[in-house]
Structure 1
Amino acid sequence: MKVLIAGAGRLGSQIAQVLAAARNDVTLVEQDDVRLAAIAHVPRVRPVAGDACDASFLEHAGALTCDLVIAATGRDEDNLVISLIAKRQFGVGRVAARVNDVENTWLFDQRWGVDVAVPAATPLISLIEEATGATDTVALLRLSKAGVEVIETAITERSRAAGRTLSEISLPPGTVVATVVRDGRPTVPGPEVRLLPGDELLLVSHQATEHEIHAAFQ
């Protein structure tokens, strides 16, 4: 599948890494060169610098041949414009857009070219499931031919990661924290999230072994 993602913030970058790990061809569009540089090393992710709200630039980035466009910028107005261009001008089959402000949710519908409106707080795995139309994202990512593993680990009082933030954890290459489940509720894992005993983590990796991932937290 050919995917174009607009916005290389934390969410856009994580989506790009997971979809690329599942052997999709991903183009990541971003105006900030620093953000692009941070993900330039990821296999199957093509970073492109530019404004995704510009129709001519989107065409240059490959929107005409995309199966899926994900508008994941931090501005709702930009996500709506990107969605409208993708659907109306380039006829993209599936368009997903991030809703940053819940009060704007009513705008994110077919009139703006949005097939799937995803609230910003949606866990990564659920977001990808909604965006791609997969009925079982975890099963999709576990396909052996994709070389991807979905690995769970739990934080206990004895875990070395207990009390530390995600930004302080050195993850193995090619590994993404998909979600942190706390008190039975999944949350979007930002770098500032401090891990507590009882937390359960779901990680996606196309390189690391289960032992390496557990070693990073235990």
Structure 2
Amino acid sequence: MKALIAGAGRLGTQIAQVLAAARNEVTLVDVDEDRVAELRGRVPVRLVAGDACDPAFLEHAGALTADLMIAATGGDEDNLVISLLAKRQFQVERVAARVNDVDNAWLFDRRWGVDVAVPAATPLISLIEEATGATDTVALLRLSKAGVNVIETTITDRSRAVGHALADIGLPAGSVIATVVRDGRPTVPAAGMRLRPGDELLVISHTATEQEIHAAFQ
């Protein structure tokens, strides 16, 4: 599947990483050139700087061949414009858009090209499941096509993993930490990185259950 994601903030980057882990062809775009430069070499996707509200740029980014468009910017107006362009001008089969302000939720429907409207507070895995549902790529907590689970867990003050280095965490066999999101930014998980309250981890595993992953950290 070819996925085009607009908005390289925390949410858009996490979605890109999960879809890339499922061996999809992912392009992540953002209007902020510095943000795109920061992510180069840190996320395994194609990164392009530019304004996704510009039809010419969307075409350059790959909208003509995209199977899935996710508008995940921090602006509802931008997400609506991106969705409308994706559906009406580029005939993208599946369009999902993030709703940042609940008062704007009524706008996010087929009239604006939105197949799936997702509130900003929706958990990452649920968002991806909703966004990709028509392509049968992601089932709940399971990337069946890749044969792996992608599981989220958040470190709190009470987590037993607080203060421990990633190398000291006893993960179930066949599991790997894909990314640690700290202060809203995904980071490459180095073995010596010590976990802090508020850290969010994406763990990819071929065999472990959600409960087994949580038990390793909580």
Normalising by the smaller structure, the TM-score range is 0.7 to 0.9
Question: Contact 1:25–1:44 (CA<8 Å) still a contact in 2?
Answer: no
Residue by residue over 1:146-172, the C-alpha shift from the partner in whole angstroms, topping out at 9 and shown as x without a partner, is: 37443576868571417x9xxxxxxx7
Aligned to 2:71: 71
**Percentage of identical aligned residues:** 68
Q: Aligned pair in 2 of structure 1 residues 152, 67: CA closer, same or farther (>3 Å)?
A: closer
Q: Aligned pair in 2 of structure 1 residues 147, 174: CA closer, same or farther (>3 Å)?
A: farther
Aligned to 1:26: 26
**Alignment TM-score, normalising by the size of structure 2:** 0.73
Residue by residue over 1:71-113, the C-alpha shift from the partner in whole angstroms, topping out at 9 and shown as x without a partner, is: 0000000000000000000000000000000000000000000
Q: How many residues align?
A: 188
Whether 1:159 aligns to 2:160 is: yes
Question: Contact 2:68–2:132 (CA<8 Å) still a contact in 1?
Answer: yes
Residue by residue over 1:122-167, the C-alpha shift from the partner in whole angstroms, topping out at 9 and shown as x without a partner, is: 000000000000472322x2x4x737443576868571417x9xxx
Residue by residue over 1:189-218, the C-alpha shift from the partner in whole angstroms, topping out at 9 and shown as x without a partner, is: 9649x749xxxx7733379x99xx88x957
SS in 2 for 1:37: helix
Residue by residue over 1:23-53, the C-alpha shift from the partner in whole angstroms, topping out at 9 and shown as x without a partner, is: 0100011011222133322464100010000
Question: Contact 1:86–1:113 (CA<8 Å) still a contact in 2?
Answer: yes
Cα distance in 2, alignment partners of residues 64 and 29 from structure 1: 15
Question: Contact 1:155–1:217 (CA<8 Å) still a contact in 2?
Answer: no
Q: Aligned pair in 2 of structure 1 residues 39, 106: CA closer, same or farther (>3 Å)?
A: same
Aligned to 1:186: none
SS in 2 for 1:79: helix
Alignment of 1:151-190 (within 5 A): 151=151, 157=158, 159-161=160-162, 174-175=178-179
> Mind listing any 5+ residue stretches in structure 2 that lack a counterpart?
165-175, 186-195
The CA RMSD measured in Å over matched residues stands at 3.5
Give 1:136's match in structure 2, choosing from 134, 139, 144: 139
Cα distance in 2, alignment partners of residues 152 and 174 from structure 1: 10
Aligned to 2:51: 51
Aligned to 1:205: 204
